[in-house]
Amino acid sequence: MTRTLHLAVAAYGVGGPGQHGLWKDPRVPSNASIDVRHYIRQAKLAEAALFDAYFIVDSQFITADYPSHYLNRLEPLTLLSAVATHTSHVGLVATASSTYNSPFNLARRLASLDQISGGRAAWNVVTSFDTGTSRNYGLAEHLDYATRYGRALEAVEVVRGLWDSYEADAFPASVADNTFLDPTKLHALEHHGEHFDVAGPLNVSRSPQGQPVIFQAGVSEEGRDLAARVAEGIYAPGGSVEQAQAYYRDIKARAAGYGRDPDHVVIFTGAAPVVASTDAEALRRSREIYDEDDDFDRKLGFLGRSFGAHDFSTHDLDAPFPDVAHLAEKGGRTAGQAIVERAAAQGLTLRQVVQTLTEYRPSPFTGAPGTVADAIETWYRDEAADGLNLNFRTLEEFERFTGDVVPLLQERGLFRTEYTSGTLRGHLGLPVPENRYTASRSRGDR
């Protein structure tokens, strides 16, 4: 397979104050987070720029001082099916929790989106690290890390099994023979595993891409392992180019270790480009965005998210960083552990931790269009990423990227100049998975 650059845009809601000040954009309604027209407009912009995918992040737990773009949001799958009928090519990635959904229901909703979009759906599998989510689902305590990831792996297996319920030719729909269904092409999964018992069959047939694409965003050991086993697209954390390269090598090697083709795991690194007419102007704007969100109390509150919504305002800001290592497990673990380790190694106070964590660092994709295109080319060629999952402060900044940077990437032969497929699998160079029962029959199995 010829390696090609991939681009996605991550749709955050609008909110504020916080890192997503889109609600202050005079071109965007202040309630755009719940206005489907806002998302349709974003997705159409992404499609006009030939992007691979439109990506919906999600959270199922909020508090009044939670990241504000999550405060008032449309549920991703409900949202994307509305977006689907107003677009024709761009992939549609819905974040959904494997911890707080039943595989049967989720398989059905994703398969429905895949049919409605003509084969453009993807499931971004998350395990919901926010402890508070558990209390919205009847659990006083969050499931532990190992259970969440074990459950996620099994959920993906069940969902994929259900997506094979119907073989491709299950519905002859022959009026002459009065035959709608060929019952030998309908299969019950009868999955009985550690976390789930699901009989099937699912009542939705396969789409033009066979099955929705599986995305994941593994960072921890368990997350990387899950990604290497099942993910076909990855929303990667970013950081420096060296950090991204190390992540890239690790994931591709793990995938190969599971007998998978590393090209079939497409790594999208998260990035927030700031493009302007000159590098200096872009840096000025980048700093302006930082300053607009620079609120110590908000950042202190946000720090708690890595420790199970722990309230850090009860601690002395100028005392050594408190002993919260045991809470990292409740907040996704990896982020919290890294903070604890750094605080210990450098002897930081709580105030210094917040300042260090949130100090101004311009995105590597900040500058004039040529500078940003250079950076993208470097990241891509040096195997720090197969593509980028972008997010933008304003619609105008999104349009500047698609208008000024994308053409440069196309001129350099890095990015497509037209869609050559109508499905997300097609855009990502992923094969259509063969139906397991058809495959079994063609191998002469019973």
Check binding of 2 to a copy of itself (CB under 8 A). no
**Total binding residues for a copy of itself by CB under 8 A?**
67
Check binding of 12 to a copy of itself (CB under 8 A). no
CB of 194 to a copy of itself, least distance (A): 12
- Are 226 and 218 in contact by the 8 Å Cβ rule? The answer is yes
Check binding of 290 to a copy of itself (CB under 8 A). no
CB of 359 to a copy of itself, least distance (A): 22
Identify the three-state secondary structure at position 373. helix
Q: What are phi and psi of 94, to 5 degrees?
A: -105, 125
Which of 67, 91, 119, 132 binds a copy of itself (CB under 8 A)? It is 132
- Are 193 and 154 in contact by the 8 Å Cβ rule? The answer is yes
Check binding of 429 to a copy of itself (CB under 8 A). no
Kindly identify the residues of this chain, within the stretch 103-122, that bind a copy of itself according to CB under 8 A.
104-105, 108-109, 111-113, 115-116
Smaller CB separation from a copy of itself, 40 or 271: 40
Check binding of 31 to a copy of itself (CB under 8 A). yes
Identify the three-state secondary structure at position 266. strand
Stretch that binds a copy of itself, among 44-52, 181-189, 248-256, 434-442 (CB under 8 A): 181-189
**DSSP letter, residue 169:** T
Kindly identify the residues of this chain, within the stretch 50-79, that bind a copy of itself according to CB under 8 A.
59-60, 62, 64-65, 68, 70-75, 77-79
**DSSP letter, residue 334:** H
Check binding of 17 to a copy of itself (CB under 8 A). yes
Label residue 89 exposed, middle or buried (CB < 10 Å: 0-12, 13-18, 19+).
buried
Label residue 225 exposed, middle or buried (CB < 10 Å: 0-12, 13-18, 19+).
middle
Which of 186, 234, 339, 430 binds a copy of itself (CB under 8 A)? It is 186
Identify the three-state secondary structure at position 235. strand
Check binding of 280 to a copy of itself (CB under 8 A). no
Smaller CB separation from a copy of itself, 205 or 371: 205
Pairing label, strands 233-236, 266-271: parallel
CA distance 419 to 401: 19
CB of 289 to a copy of itself, least distance (A): 15
Smaller CB separation from a copy of itself, 62 or 317: 62
Check binding of 88 to a copy of itself (CB under 8 A). no
Q: Where are the alpha helices (DSSP H) in 293-329?
A: 296-303
Smaller CB separation from a copy of itself, 101 or 334: 101
Check binding of 166 to a copy of itself (CB under 8 A). yes
CB of 81 to a copy of itself, least distance (A): 5
Check binding of 244 to a copy of itself (CB under 8 A). no
Check binding of 394 to a copy of itself (CB under 8 A). no
- Are 46 and 40 in contact by the 8 Å Cβ rule? The answer is no
CB of 309 to a copy of itself, least distance (A): 12
CA distance 125 to 110: 12
Check binding of 199 to a copy of itself (CB under 8 A). yes
How far from 402 is each of 49, 51, 397, 407, CA to CA, in Å? 6, 9, 9, 8
Which of 91, 119, 150, 200 binds a copy of itself (CB under 8 A)? It is 200
Stretch that binds a copy of itself, among 10-18, 320-328, 379-387, 438-446 (CB under 8 A): 10-18
- Are 429 and 386 in contact by the 8 Å Cβ rule? The answer is no
Stretch that binds a copy of itself, among 196-204, 244-252, 380-388, 415-423 (CB under 8 A): 196-204
Q: Is residue 201 reached through a cis peptide bond, with omega within 30 degrees of 0 on the bond before it?
A: yes
Name the token pair of 287: 């700093």
- Are 253 and 220 in contact by the 8 Å Cβ rule? The answer is no
- Are 202 and 180 in contact by the 8 Å Cβ rule? The answer is no
Which of 1, 138, 323, 347 binds a copy of itself (CB under 8 A)? It is 138
Long-range contact set of residues 72-75: C-beta below 8 Å, sequence gap at least 24: 72/13, 72/15, 72/31, 72/33, 72/34, 73/13, 73/33, 73/34, 74/33, 74/34, 74/36, 74/39
Stretch that binds a copy of itself, among 190-198, 271-279, 312-320, 365-373 (CB under 8 A): 190-198
Residues that bind a copy of itself (CB under 8 A): 15-17, 23-24, 30-31, 34-36, 40, 59-60, 62, 64-65, 68, 70-75, 77-79, 81-82, 84-86, 100-102, 104-105, 108-109, 111-113, 115-116, 132, 135-138, 140, 166, 171, 173, 175, 178, 180-181, 183, 186, 196-201, 203-205
